[in-house]
Amino acid sequence: MEDKKLKQTIQDKLSHHRVDVPDDLWARVSGALPSPIAWYKRKSTYVAAATLAALVLALWWLYDDTTIAPQDPGHSLYTACNTAEEVISPIELPIIPNVIIAKHVKEATPEPKIQSAEKAPTAIQQAPVVQEVLVAEAAQPQDSSITESSTTCDESLHCCLSDSACRLFNDPTAPCYDDIAINHIKKSGITSDRGSLFFAFHANTSTRNTVVTPYAYRCNENEMTFVHRMPFSMRALLEKRFGRWGVGAGLAYTYMAAEYESSDNVRKGLQQLHYVGVPLYVSYEFARVGKFAFYTAFGGQLDINTAGVQHETDGSIASKYFEDIEFRDELLQLSLQLRVGAAYEIVEHIDIFVEPVVGYYFDNDSKIHSRWQDSQWNTSLGLGIRAWL
């Protein structure tokens, strides 16, 4: 009994006892160990260097966002119209957003007059953007011969300048149809009759993989060109590690911007979209050098648009009537993403990372001209922070 107490007392005092170690002992120990492999001989150094080079190339490629210059639909339209009996210069257009220069050509009818800014047309067709403004400004009825809303073709132009579909053909003998199918790129089929404010345009999207098709206009609408910038994402992730593998989820915020311009030069500005998403992914760390980790990840992400705005720039005609149009798309955006990134462990179990992303964005039939909807395959740049267990 006494012996047990003695053992317990001594164990309590000594079993975890520590004493100071002389400073030179580590030098002696490390001197006796095999020399470490020089950094330039390590395989991981080359893997890391290759990954960094790939990242730099990817970033360069992502930011070198040279877009396919859209054809100039506005110019084509005016050129076509300029062959009419009267010449309508864009400068002479009424300074009313989205207003239609509707010209009713009748046999033996005196030459129609050109509408001016001061004399707005009596019938303003499909001008939903600023309809109230237009109505207010168009309070002075003018020459009704100019803007009757009937469907009539000026056969010399083969251009229906009315509320019906029309086409501009190179072939002057081509007929004019009131109900012609609009053969256009997928997302440009959004027309004014859907009633949305800023969607009252056909739109072209200038991205890498869309092509502006030969024109088929509704003459009462304008062509809208979107040039998308590369989306930028911030992510906060929580990841469970299993060796080199990991499973993670988190929150993502994405900012997307596009410069838009209407063919009639009325609308011009910057569209900004904000998305919040939930990513779910599997990751694999293929190299680690010190506190740097290089990894790839694959997974899905569900995004929802939280806010959007079209801000007219100072040069746009529409900016005289409004500055911003705010909107929100309630449709969920699902995507599959492949990411390759580099992470730096700032404190234990917490990394910051940068990663180029290649993603496939499923079509959700959104009316918003986001880069994701205008081009299903996309690249973006992501930054973020991740905690791992």
- Using CB under 8 A, list all residues that contact other proteins: 2-3, 5-7, 9-11, 13-22, 25-26, 28-30, 32-37, 290, 348
* Beta carbons of 121 and 94 less than 8 angstroms apart: yes
Task: Provide CB contacts within 8 A for 98, sequence distance 6+.
Answer: 126, 127, 128, 129, 130, 192, 200, 201, 221, 222, 262, 264, 266, 267
Minimum separation from the CB atom of position 293 to other proteins (A): 11
Minimum separation from the CB atom of position 51 to other proteins (A): 19
Nearer to other proteins, 12 or 155 (CB): 12
Scan for tokens 């110019």, then name that residue. Answer: 75
Minimum separation from the CB atom of position 355 to other proteins (A): 22
Nearer to other proteins, 106 or 240 (CB): 240
Three-class SS state of 362: coil
Minimum separation from the CB atom of position 43 to other proteins (A): 10
Q: What angle do CA 43, 48, 54 make, to 5 degrees?
A: 130
Minimum separation from the CB atom of position 384 to other proteins (A): 22
Nearer to other proteins, 9 or 209 (CB): 9
Minimum separation from the CB atom of position 21 to other proteins (A): 5
Minimum separation from the CB atom of position 346 to other proteins (A): 15
The one-letter amino acid code at 57 reads L
Nearer to other proteins, 22 or 110 (CB): 22
Nearer to other proteins, 186 or 244 (CB): 244
Task: Provide CB contacts within 8 A for 161, sequence distance 6+.
Answer: 81, 100, 101, 102, 103, 152, 154, 219, 220
Minimum separation from the CB atom of position 40 to other proteins (A): 15
Would you put residue 265 in left (φ > 0), alpha (ψ -120 to 50) or beta?
Answer: left
The Cα 201–Cα 132 span in angstroms is: 18
Of 313, 305, 353, 358, nearest to 332 (Cα)?
305
Nearer to other proteins, 42 or 367 (CB): 42
Between the CA of residue 11 and those of 19, 20, 21, 294, what are the distances in Å?
16, 20, 21, 46
Nearer to other proteins, 18 or 171 (CB): 18
Nearer to other proteins, 13 or 173 (CB): 13
